[in-house]
Amino acid sequence: MKLLKAVGLIAAISLGSALAQDRTQTLIYGGDWSDLITMDPQVSYEFSGGLVTDNLYETLVKYEGADLSTLKPGLAESWKVDRGRDTWDITFRLRRGSKFSSGNEVTAKDVVYTFERALAIKGPGSFLFTEIAQLKPGATRAVDNYTVVVSIPKTASPGSFLSILTFNIGGIVDSETVQKNAKGNDFGKEWLTNNSAGSGPFRLVRWDRGSQVLLEANPNARIKPKLQRVILREIKEPAVLRTALESGEIDIAEGLTPEALRALSNNPRFRTFKADSLRLNYLGMNVKEGSPFANKLVRDAVRYSINQDELVNGLVQGNGTKIQTLIPKGLLGYDPRTPYTFDPARAKRLLAQAGYPNGLEFELLVSTGICGGGIPCADIAAKIQSDLAKGGLKANVKAIANAEVLRTYRAQNHQMVLVGWSPDFPDPDGNATPWADFNARSLAWRNVWNDPTAIRLANQAALETEPAKRVALYRLLTDYVLKNGPYAVLYQPAVPLGLSVKVEGYVRNAQGQVRFENISKLP
């Protein structure tokens, strides 16, 4: 019995002291990280994967804070875009003295290796390099130890390419360490799934799948974090997320329910806020020949039938922003105008004008899952259905598995669909081309909307390098698509977060990036 007491006492003391040392130096970030499948920056294409790898690897250029429209120096201290004969030549000058966690210096050969690696591995995000930037093997050249030139064809947008480089696919890996751990022709893919070889402020110590990811300060990094350790704790259940935050087991909870957010905001121990996302939830209308939506008047009737204010403030409970144009808030070219107001009488008039005086019946396809803002998609569909009915539009809601919704949508077999879209990279072109260019075989194609004006404007804006001119072009495009396109944008969902008041310096940009190095914790 005495022995037991002694053991208990020692355990309690050692536990107590370990906690006292660690608490202010360890940040525990809770959320649903179940989409994590790899820690390899050139393979990862999941939100959680990006969240982790952004802190393990540095990119040549990056965005800082919540601003996604101004590029800042990363590993490259400067860069310039030159107009070659058939190519854009982008020259990056690397800063000296950046080191990987291994202690190796970051040089031009690592940049070349990383870009070639991304092209060779062909990960799920590789189309950003191969299709958007049209980057070819051999197009990245080291001029000297600290200078890299990348050439992309004239048909690609250098602006898009630079913004793609802020994404984890552009995370520069330690070529020596990776090659040492490569197996056969795998470019170290298997090893980098569970290990890190970057120059970011943190290094990966351990990943217990389904449970937690453990990061520690990278001793060789140029950027010194304020915390020694960051732990991503996987908690799928929103109710548990809240309880874990309240009991102090986690410092940050991402993905709370609107109710939990309200309860926490009344508690002085916590801070709550809604982080922006770049997602848009929208209705897509198939305009193929013979479809009622082929008539622009019918599409307008739909847009006038939706009570967006009620949707955003009521059902979404403020976990989203009202928006009608195709470039989300946070990106260059965002247009805050919302000219379509709820006007069912007008919708009815438009329908009559279009030849449907007795109204119109069609099928609205929706996922059985959760839509942005934590609301079941079927609930949103029900609200839309009742709104549309007031305008004389009878939507028969069909709720099916998300993958099945997408398969039908991709096959152009829908009439109307309620889905979400997030741009692949934080540039207006990440939305403009898919939404406007029929030839990109994305959203415009799925809705069979082949409009020469929209295509021309989207292509022009993508290739424009002058920011002011680019904004002007996007203003034209967003306005045109708003009035003519096959979409009715519903809202831009936000990510609800709760934090302990002890946590300082937390910023989450709309792309979902969080720089852990800026976060500190009060005792």
| Residues found near other proteins in the complex (CB under 8 A) | 7-8, 10-11, 14-15, 18-19, 22-23, 26, 28, 34, 37-38, 124, 127, 131, 193, 206, 208-212, 214, 231, 233-237, 239-240, 243-244, 246-247, 249-250, 401-404, 406-407, 410, 419-422, 424, 441-442
Q: 399 vs 471, which CB is nearer to other proteins? A: 399
Q: 16 vs 357, which CB is nearer to other proteins? A: 16
Asked if 60 and 74 count as a contact pair (C-beta separation under 8 A), the reply is yes
Measured between alpha carbons, how far is residue 386 from residues 127, 344, 354, 389 in Å? 40, 11, 21, 5
| Minimum CB distance to other proteins, residue 285 (Å) | 17
| Minimum CB distance to other proteins, residue 179 (Å) | 21
Rg (CA), the chain: 25
Q: 10 vs 345, which CB is nearer to other proteins? A: 10
Integer Cα distance of 162 and 423 in angstroms: 15
Contacts of 355 (CB under 8 A, 6+ apart): 295
Q: 22 vs 67, which CB is nearer to other proteins? A: 22
| Minimum CB distance to other proteins, residue 483 (Å) | 25
Question: What 3-state DSSP class applies to 129?
Answer: helix
Residue 312 tokens, joined: 């955003």
Residue 449 tokens, joined: 């909307």
Q: 307 vs 442, which CB is nearer to other proteins? A: 442
Amino acid at 107: T
| Minimum CB distance to other proteins, residue 402 (Å) | 8
| Minimum CB distance to other proteins, residue 231 (Å) | 5
Residue 473 tokens, joined: 């072009």
Integer Cα distance of 324 and 340 in angstroms: 8
Q: How many whole angstroms from its chain centre is CA 125?
A: 12
- Would you say the C-alpha torsion 39, 40, 45, 50 has a positive or negative sign? positive
Q: 239 vs 345, which CB is nearer to other proteins? A: 239
Question: What is the residue whose two structure tokens read 């569909």?
Answer: 381
Q: 103 vs 124, which CB is nearer to other proteins? A: 124
Q: 37 vs 389, which CB is nearer to other proteins? A: 37
| Minimum CB distance to other proteins, residue 248 (Å) | 8
Closest CA to 327 of 467, 466, 429: 429
Within 10 A of 404 (CB to CB), how many other CB atoms are there?
13
How many helices and strands, by DSSP H and E, does the chain display?
18, 22
| Minimum CB distance to other proteins, residue 68 (Å) | 18
Q: 26 vs 295, which CB is nearer to other proteins? A: 26
Could you say which DSSP state residue 223 is in?
A: S
Instruction: Spell out the alpha helix ranges (H) of 218-339.
Output: 238-246, 258-265, 296-305, 308-310
| Minimum CB distance to other proteins, residue 78 (Å) | 32
